[in-house]
Structure 1
C-alpha cells in the first residue's frame, strides 16, 4: 500500500519545498500547493491523506479554507500559523482542524502529528469491527461499518475523523464520567497541557452536531471531573 499523500498548502515557496522534502524523507508522499485553486484541484484529482494548511495562505486565508475544506471533506487538517495563542488554536479547531502547530515548527514534529491524526482516522475507520456495527441512542444511529451517523429524521450528519473517534470513545462508556485527560487519550487527541482546550472544542463541535430540533446532545459536563454520555446506548 502506498504511503498517504500529504497536501502542503504553504504560503512561502521555500517552506513548501523544505516541508515536502522532509515529509518524503519521513515516508510520506507530499504535494505542495500555493493557493486555494491548487488545493481544490488536488482534492478533485487524487486521494489526499491529510492537509497541512498555512493560516496565512494568499487569496482566501487558511482559516476560511479550513472551514471550506471541512465542509467538503473529512480529510485530516493540521493548521500551521505564526500565531500560537489559545484563541488561535481554539478558532482553528472550531473551524474543523484536527490539530494546530505554531510557526516556526520542527518538520519532525509535523511528521509526528501527521502520523497521529492518520492513526486517529484509521481507528475511526476500524472501530466497531470487533463488536456490533451499529449503536442506537435517542433515535440516532451510528453505523461504524460505514462511519456514518444518522439523526432521528434519517439525515446523515457529517463528522470529522476526530469527532467520530470522540463519539466512539464516549459511546463505549455511556452514563460514566470520563476525565478530560482520559478522554483525550481514548479519542486519540494529542498530548497537551491540562489548560489546553482541544477536547473541550471537540466536545462543543460534537454537541452542536448531535442537537436535533429541540433535543440537546446527551453529553453532560461534570464540573471538575470530565464529561458523561447520558443516553442509553443499544448495540446491534
Structure 2
C-alpha cells in the first residue's frame, strides 16, 4: 500500500513541526506550508490525500481556502484551529470540511482523526459488495460498503464523508423520528459538541444533492422542534 500524503498548512512552525513529526512516525508522507500562497504552490506541484488546515493564516482566510478547495476536489480536509466555538465548527462543516479539531489537541487524537478521514475518502476497488449493505429508495441505490450513491440514471453525486454517513444512518432508520442529538452522535465528523446548527447545515447540503433541497418530496421530513424523519420506502438488494 502506498504511503498517504498529507499537506499541513500551519503558520506556527512549532505546531507544524510537531504534526509533521508525529504523522511521519506513523508512516505518512508530509509536506508543510506556512500560508495560503505556499499551500497553493504545493498543490500545483503535487497531489495530496489529506489537507490539515489552520484557519488563522497570515495571508488568507482558512475557511475561504477550504471552500475553494472543496469546490474542485474531494481531497480530505481537516480544519485544525484555535476557534473552538460551536459556530466556528458549524462554519467548517458548512464549507465541506470532513472534520474539525481544536487546539490544543492530543497528537494521538489527531492521528486517529486523520486515519478516519482517509479511510472514508480513499477509494478501494477491492471492497466486497455486501448485498445487505445495498439499499434502494426513491430511485437511489446506496452502497454502504463501497460508500457510493447512484441515481436511477446512473449518475453519482459527490458526497462528503459526513453527508454519506448521515444519509446511511437515515436510510438505516426509516420512518423513525431522529433527534438532532442522535444524528450528531451518529456522524463522527459532526460530534455532539458541534450543536444543532451543524446538523441542520449538513442536512441542507445533503438534501440539495439528492434533489430534496426544499423538502418538497418529503424524502427527509423536518419535524419542527424535534428533528428529522426519513420517509422513503427502503428495499434491500437481492443480488
**1:153 & 1:174 partners in 2: Cα distance?**
24
Using the alignment, how far apart are the partners of 1:128 and 1:85 within structure 2? Answer: 40
Runs of 4+ in 1 over 6 A off after TM superposition: 122-128
- Report how far residue 229 of structure 1 moved: 1.1
Cα distance change of structure 1 residues 192 and 126 upon mapping to structure 2, 3 Å threshold = farther
The number of residues matched between the two structures is 236
Moved more, 83-92 or 107-116: 107-116
Q: Is the 8 A contact 1:55 1:79 kept in 2?
A: yes
- Supply the RMSD in Å over aligned alpha carbons: 3.5
Q: Does 1:51 align with 2:51?
A: yes
Change (3 A) 1:180 1:212: closer
What is residue 31 of structure 1 aligned with on the other side?
A: 31
Deviations 1:68-101 (A, max 9, x none): 1111222221112232222211111100112222
1:221 aligns with 2:222: yes
Q: Which residue of 1 aligns with 2:101?
A: 101
Label 1:187 to 1:217 Cα distance change in 2 as closer, same or farther (>3 A). farther
Q: d(CA) in 1 for partners of 2:124 and 2:226?
A: 25
Tell which deviates more after alignment, 148-157 or 19-28: 148-157
Q: Which moved more, 1:217-226 or 1:197-206?
A: 217-226
Please name the residue that 2:171 is paired with.
Answer: 171
The 5 Å alignment of 1:62-81 reads 62-81=62-81
CA-CA distance at 1:150 after TM superposition: 4.9
Per the TM alignment, residue 53 of structure 1 is displaced from its structure 2 partner at its CA by 0.5
For 1:66 and 1:187, how far apart are their aligned partners in 2? 20
What secondary structure is seen at the aligned counterpart in 2 of 1:157?
A: coil
1:61 lines up with 2:61 in the alignment? yes
With 184-193 and 120-129 compared, the bigger mean Cα shift is at 120-129
The alpha-carbon distance between structure 1 residues 116 and 39, as it changes in their structure 2 partners (threshold 3 A), is same
> Which shows bigger deviation, 18-27 or 223-232?
223-232
In structure 2, what is the Cα distance between the partners aligned to 1:4 and 1:93? Answer: 23
Q: Which runs of 5+ in 2 are unaligned?
A: none
CA contact (8 A) 2:140 2:152 kept: yes
Write the deviation string for residues 79-132 of structure 1: whole angstroms up to 9, x where unpaired. 122322222111111001122222333333322322333344469999982116
Taking the aligned partners of 1:24 and 1:108, their CA distance within structure 2 comes to 13
Report the TM-score when normalising by structure 2. 0.77
1:176/1:43 CA distance change after superposition, 3 Å? farther
